[in-house]
Amino acid sequence: MNHSPKRAGRSSLAALLLLSGLGTVAHAGDYVVIVNKDNQSAVDKTMVAKIYTGDLKAWKDGSTVAPIDLPEDNPVRASFSTDVLGKSVGNVKAVWAQLVFSGRALPPKQAASDDEVKKLVAANKSAIGYVKASSLDDSVKAVIK
């Protein structure tokens, strides 16, 4: 066996690259955006960002969007806020405070858990939410994974 420092360095680099890639995949896949199974709207990340910052209030069919949030201290909410909205949970909260103060919008309804988010989304055709990827089941439809 050849245990040269050059070969060991390449192995370490390959392992580091592999591990860093796995970390990225795990982060990107830690939540899914969900809608009611009967919702036929095409949903993308831009649309979700507009919904969760108060810029979009209705689906294309005219029905009012009913966004559901997880609690502020939930790590899934932190990932969702950063990845989809490009803001921290605190910054998103500040945006909603301004919208509420000006009378332009009400913040998303807050659910206590992934199970509650799924229940609310499953019961309302106009609802949208997000849950930890491992919580996804067939009671709702994933639109962004």
Are the beta carbons of 36 and 138 closer than 8 angstroms?
A: no
In a domain, 1, yes or no: no
Query: Alpha-carbon distance 135 to 42, whole Å?
Result: 22
In a domain, 111, yes or no: yes
Structure tokens at 23: 């970390």
In a domain, 6, yes or no: no
The domain in which residue 114 lies consists of 31-144
In a domain, 81, yes or no: yes
CATH number at residue 110: 3.40.190.10
Cα 101 → chain centroid = 25
Phi and psi, residue 88, nearest 5° = -75, 165
In a domain, 76, yes or no: yes
Q: 122: closest CA among 66, 71, 79? A: 66
pLDDT of residue 47: 96
pLDDT of residue 1: 52
- How many structural domains are present in the chain? 1
Model's pTM, two decimal places?
0.79
| Average pLDDT per block of 10 residues along the chain, 145 residues long | 49 41 42 95 95 95 96 95 95 95 94 98 98 96 91
Q: Count Cβ atoms below 10 Å from residue 51 Cβ, excluding itself.
A: 22
